[in-house]
Amino acid sequence: MGDEEQTRAQLRHGLRIATLLVAVLTVDVLGLINLLRHLGSHDLPAAQFAAYAGLTAVLVTEAVLVLRRRPWGALRWPAVAVVFAAAALSYLTLPDGKTSTTVDWLFGAAGWVLVVVLLDRPFRTVMTVLVAHELLALANLLLFHEVSRSTLARFATGSVTVFGLPLCVAVVAAVLGRIGTEAAAATRELERVRTAEAVAVAAHRRRAQRFSELAGTTVPLLEGLADGSLTPDDPAVRRGCAIEAARMRRLFAESDTVENPLLHELRHCADIADRKGVEVELDARGHWPVPPVAVRRDLTDAALTALATAGSWARVTVVGSGGEVSVNVVADCGELTVAPPVTPDVRVETFGSDGTVWMEAQWQPAN
């Protein structure tokens, strides 16, 4: 559970406890006091105590669920039915003319019990059930009691608190739920932006590091061409420029999202040779895991050096088997010197004769 979801759960749990306390105060304190005080006014006291027992049973169930941090689940609508049955039993056995008075103790209590049961439901559901309870009380007044202007006024005045206060709690619960949902969405969006920024910063840092590595070989070459100490007519200078251009193309290719990064970077290296008229053949056989960036650099260094210095043709073959991969290059170029690999799991071998060079870079990760 994330921090925002945990915060929402704590808010809902706190509101649930507060609503339960108000309902207990209304039913088991004020309601019981009014019931006992006017017990002699009731024709069927047992019916009133049965209604009181029904509401208390619902509140006890809610207390157990709160302690266990469990929702009502399948018990919700049977509990609502118990509340309505208790309300009907109490209203039908009220003395004539006592609706909406202190004798009618359940009128002000049933709404709170309904809100306790339906607190985590949508607002329209709570509204509908509270209206249904009001209609039940009104129907009892109109059908079984003497109706007068004073009784209707008393009913309307009592409904302001009996219906309005529980409804306000339902509104608060709905607002808290909406605020929690919006806050969670805002937090997720903020985390997404932060992650994207962190990825961009890391990619920029890696690219800057790679550029600084290239600067050790590229900058002296450019400075020599700028101050005239190196001339483009020198074959060694042209070969060095081709090698550095291939390394830069490989650097740019490293940031691309492709299925096979090794082949993708080799194609970019081959493009330098192709631009100067070298016929390049690139072939791949087998399957291999995606090597890390440092390993791919060691695997492609030998190939890009041969491709950059080839005279007219070059053949690059990538062979993968199980967990290892090798890059083989054959080209018509003179003897080459390749820097030793940086990663310990890469091995480079070079053979040359009669103007043809064969080079192999093999990666076999240690288990």
Whether the Cβ atoms of residue 111 and residue 162 lie closer than 8 Å to each other = yes
- Using the 8-state DSSP alphabet, how is residue 94 labeled? S
Task: Count CB neighbours of 248 within 10 A.
Answer: 16
Q: What is the pLDDT of residues 159-170, one digit of tens each?
A: 777 777 788 887
Whether the model pTM is above 0.75: no
Whether the Cβ atoms of residue 243 and residue 300 lie closer than 8 Å to each other = no
Amino acid identity at 303: A
Could you tell me the domains of the chain?
3-189 (no CATH), 231-363 (3.30.565)
CA distance 34 to 41: 11
User: Which tokens hold the place of 354?
Assistant: 């009669």
Place of tokens 């049973």: 57
Q: What is the pLDDT of residues 127-185, one digit of tens each?
A: 888 888 888 888 877 777 777 777 777 777 777 777 777 888 878 777 777 776 777 77
Q: What residues pair up with 281 in beta bridges, in sequence order?
A: 315
Whether the Cβ atoms of residue 334 and residue 309 lie closer than 8 Å to each other = yes
Q: What is the mean pLDDT of the chain?
A: 82
Q: Report pLDDT for 63.
A: 92
List CB contacts of 38: < 8 A, sequence separation 6 or more: 102, 103, 105
